[in-house]
Structure formats: structure tokens, C-alpha cells
């Protein structure tokens, strides 16, 4: 089954004629994604590898049945691109763009309220479901179909964990990178709830980072709502206070958001917190063997 992305997902790529959009559109097609349209304002009427390109997202929705969007446009255009997809009632919007100002994301969050859309990102590696397709940067070779759900704030660690699992013969149901910005469209809690309800998912990997309170909120939710085993890793264990780790949201401020606080919260919720990122796959393997 998987979550959010399945064989019925029809993708429009916003920015399909740009370098990022064109490359990742082709890679997603290789992964089995149904890319049904592209959008580049001013270039409507052309085609991209046989895929029709439109000026507006609403045209891709009405003419090609697009119900998901991948956004690969610069930060100055990304907020408007997200809002255009929301107004076109695209169900799943995935924005990989980094560097979007916080004030612009506040406007995006306001536009999402009461809409029919879910946003993943921005500043994220995207979403992928083996056997159905993907939107974003997750390398095709790192994944295989299976029963482990992966949620992550870190792009690089997402790829690492997926490759560990695949190399051990452990497949994934869906992998989602939620993004490393202070304001994101979909949270750990949102996705934990979906994985808990998904009959294909038997275990969950959660990759967090220092900064913010997303992991503590996830721990609270897990304690009361998740019955499936969860293995977590928190990046930034040795980072000093005030040091940012590449992501705008990964910064310890006022003594809050430390690795120790997050680890304590997760462990108190029954989560296995792995301190060595190279051992995450083996942790999951042992759990699955124990279940069998």
C-alpha cells in the first residue's frame, strides 16, 4: 500500500525545462513515476521528452489529471509555485527548493489551511515509493520494495539509511524527507500517523537533527499512538550550542533542541535510539528478525 505516493499518483513537474527539473524528471520516470505534465510559464505548448508542458498548473490538473506536483524552481519563485499548486487543488505538493525565506513560508502555511493540498518540504529530498514512483532527489538505486517506512530531516542520511536497508535485503514502503527548514509543510507526527495506519509498514526509521522540537513532539505522539517498532538517529551529537548544521532548522538555541534532550524524549517513548548511523540498518534487521 505505502503512504501518500502510489501507482495512481500522476505528477506534474513545475520547472521541468530547467536543469534541476529536467534531470530529476527523467530520473523519476526511470523509477516508474507517472510524470504526466510539466509547467514552465511562457513555454506552454512545447513538449519535454513527449510530455506536454503547460504555462499553468491548473492546465496540467484539468487536462492530464495531475494530482501531485514536484517543484524544482529557485527560491524567489518557489512560494508562488507552491501557492499555484494549492489553488489548483493538487493533493500532494513536494518542494525541494532550499533558501525560501521564513516570511514567505508563513504565507504558504496560511494558504495550506483549509485547502485540499499537503506540502512536503521545502528544502527536502522528496518522497519515494518503490514500485510506484518518486518526486525529488532520492537516488533510484538506494531503494527496493518492502515494509520499512523512513522519515528524515536530513537528505544525505536519508540516502545512507535507504542504501543500508537495501544492501541488507530490507525493502521500504515509502521514504519521506520532511525538510530541514524551521517551517515545513508535513511533520514527523503527520507521517508517523500515516505509517501506523499503513498495513504494508512493519517498522519505522526516524532520522532527526539537533534544533527545534520536532523530535520531542514525535516522541510524545509515539508514546501514545505508535505500536510499530521505531528506530531513530539524531544528527549533531557533537555540535556546540549555536552551531548550525547546514539546515536553517538545525540550530541549538537557548539550550533547547540538543541531541541529549531529543534522545531522552524518544527513549522514554520506547524508541530505540541508535548512536552510530552506520548501524541503523542492522538495528532494523534485528527487529524484523525478532518479529519473524
Pairing state between β 203-209 and 145-152: parallel
Q: How far apart are CA 234 and CA 54, in angstroms?
A: 42
Grid coordinates in use for 63? Answer: 487536462
Distance CA 260, CA 268 (A): 12
Three-state DSSP at 208 gives strand
> Cell 505528477 belongs to which residue?
11
3-state SS assignment for residue 80: helix
SS3 223: helix
> Which residues lie below 8 Å from residue 71, measured CB to CB, with a gap of 6+?
14, 15, 78, 81, 82, 85, 93, 94, 95, 96, 97, 121, 122
At 211 the pLDDT is: 87
Sign of torsion over alpha carbons 192, 172, 278, 244: negative
231-283 confidence digits (pLDDT tens):
999 997 755 655 555 555 544 444 558 899 999 999 999 999 999 999 999 99
Structural domains for the chain: 10-120 (3.40.50.720), 138-291 (3.40.50.261)
Report, as ranges of residue numbers, the positions in the chain whose pLDDT lies below 70: 238-256, 291-292
Structure confidence at residue 252 (pLDDT) = 46
Instruction: Please identify every residue annotated as catalytic.
Output: 247
Measured over the CA atoms of residue 271, residue 276, residue 280 and residue 286, the dihedral's sign is negative
Kindly give the interhelix angle for 259-268 and 214-225, rounded to the nearest 10 degrees: 10
How far, in Å, are 17, 157, 158, 161, 163 from residue 23 at the CA level? 9, 22, 20, 23, 21
Q: What is the pTM of this model?
A: 0.93
CA distance 56 to 54: 6
CA distance 268 to 33: 39
Measure the CA–CA gap between 29 and 132, rounded to whole angstroms. 10
* CA–CA gap between residue 281 and residue 131 (Å, rounded): 21
Amino acid at each position: 500500500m505505502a503512504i501518500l505516493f502510489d501507482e495512481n499518483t500522476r505528477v506534474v513537474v513545475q520547472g521541468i525545462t530547467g536543469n534541476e527539473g529536467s534531470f530529476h524528471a527523467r530520473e523519476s520516470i526511470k523509477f516508474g513515476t507517472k510524470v504526466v505534465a510539466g509547467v514552465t510559464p511562457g513555454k506552454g505548448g512545447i513538449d519535454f521528452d513527449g510530455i506536454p508542458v503547460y504555462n499553468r498548473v491548473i492546465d496540467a490538473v484539468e487536462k492530464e489529471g495531475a494530482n501531485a506536483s514536484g517543484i524544482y524552481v529557485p527560491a524567489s519563485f518557489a512560494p508562488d509555485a507552491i501557492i499555484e499548486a494549492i489553488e489548483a487543488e493538487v493533493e500532494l505538493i513536494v518542494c525541494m527548493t532550499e533558501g525560501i525565506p521564513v516570511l514567505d513560508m508563513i504565507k504558504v502555511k496560511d494558504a495550506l489551511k483549509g485547502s485540499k493540498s499537503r506540502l512536503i518540504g521545502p528544502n527536502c529530498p522528496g518522497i519515494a515509493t518503490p514500485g510506484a514512483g518518486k518526486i525529488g532527489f532520492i537516488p533510484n538505486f538506494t531503494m527496493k520494495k518492502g515494509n520499512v517506512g523512513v522519515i528524515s530531516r536530513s537528505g544525505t542520511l536519508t540516502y545512507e539509511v535507504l542504501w543500508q536497508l537495501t544492501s541488507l535485503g530490507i525493502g521500504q514502503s515509502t521514504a519521506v524527507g520532511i525538510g530541514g527548514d524551521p517551517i515545513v509543510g508535513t511533520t514527523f507526527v503527520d507521517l508517523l500517523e500515516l505509517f501506523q495506519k499503513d498495513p504494508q509498514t512493519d517498522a519505522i526509521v526516524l532520522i532527526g537533527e539537533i534544533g527545534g522540537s520536532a523530535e520531542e513532539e514525535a516522541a510524545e505522539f509515539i508514546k501514545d499512538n505508535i505500536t510499530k517498532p521505531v528506530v531513530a538517529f539524531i544528527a549533531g551529537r557533537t555540535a556546540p550550542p549555536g552551531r548550525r548544521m547546514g539546515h536553517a532548522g538545525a540550530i541549538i538555541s537557548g539550550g533547547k533542541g540538543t541531541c541529549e534532550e531529543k534522545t531522552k524524549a524518544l527513549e522514554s517513548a520506547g524508541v530505540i535510539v541508535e548512536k552510530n548511523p552506520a548501524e541503523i540498518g542492522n538495528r532494523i534487521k534485528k527487529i524484523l528478525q525478532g518479529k519473524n
